A and B are shown apart, each in its own frame.
Chain A
Amino acid sequence: MTAAEMVNKLDLQVFSGEKGLDREISGGYMSDLLSDVMGNADEGQVWITLQTHKNVMAIASLKELAAVILVNGHKPDDDTAAQSNEEDIPLLGTSMSAFDITGKLYELIYK
């Protein structure tokens, strides 16, 4: 599944990084602790979080994540969106909670 297909199926908002929507998704990781993501997320995963600041994209880029989903209707900071465009890593949003979006994404990927 590509990030674009995930956006369609989960009705996600695309804030930035549209050029990366063809990235393949290998799984997901849900956490708001940046060192946890740094230590435990893996390449190609979708990161689900409520953190909206620029360091999120620094980590997404260093870990080569496929996309970031901001939960609970959170919007990215301007410099976060700008970096997502630079890195071509889609920055996405949902009004759903972390629990609900994680459940739906899990079902999409593994069932």
Chain B
Amino acid sequence: MSETITEEYSVTGGDFSRAGYASSQIKKILKRMDVDKAIIKRTVVAAYEGEVNIVAHAWSGKIEFQMDEEQIRIILDDEGPGIEDIEKAMQEGYSTATSAIREMGFGAGMGLPNMKKNADHMHIESEPGKGTKVEIRMERMVRE
């Protein structure tokens, strides 16, 4: 049986009350499809961090979810300020979040590093002033 599941969620910049909604929907699908538990855990961490990045930094964005027997792909595509220096943004502790966001406990500079740590593959493209696109992929073969 080869089944491809695709979903798309929209994310509004600045709306922290809904941050995590898309990630929880993705988690529900993964559980329903009986994906390996360790893979679900890693996917959820990466998806949530990506979703919060859109809420915290961008004006709007969408999250595309695609899954087949071999892979899970999540594409987080936003319209926003973009990332000036991707290498810097990948460093643990580096953040451009506002103080209001930091007071909530976000913006510790752990988001992108958490995504990289948990995803099997991650690719970032960004155009300053326009937006950022992050793609994460998970292999569904269980890692020993």
Which residues of A pack against B, CB within 8 Å? 32-36, 38-39, 43, 49, 51, 53-55, 58-59, 61-63, 79
Contact = CB atoms under 8 A, between A and B. Distances in A.
Contact of A33 (B21, B23, B45, B108): B108
A43 B17 CA distance: 23
Count class of interface residues, chain B: 20 to 34
23 contacts: A33-B105, A33-B108, A33-B110, A34-B52, A34-B105, A34-B108, A35-B114, A36-B108, A36-B110, A38-B114, A39-B45, A39-B117, A39-B118, A43-B41, A58-B19, A58-B20, A58-B21, A58-B24, A61-B20, A62-B20, A62-B44, A63-B44, A79-B17
Given A38-B114, A58-B20, 17 more contacts: A32-B105, A33-B108, A35-B49, A35-B52, A35-B106, A35-B111, A36-B110, A38-B45, A39-B118, A55-B16, A55-B19, A55-B104, A55-B106, A58-B21, A61-B24, A62-B44, A63-B44
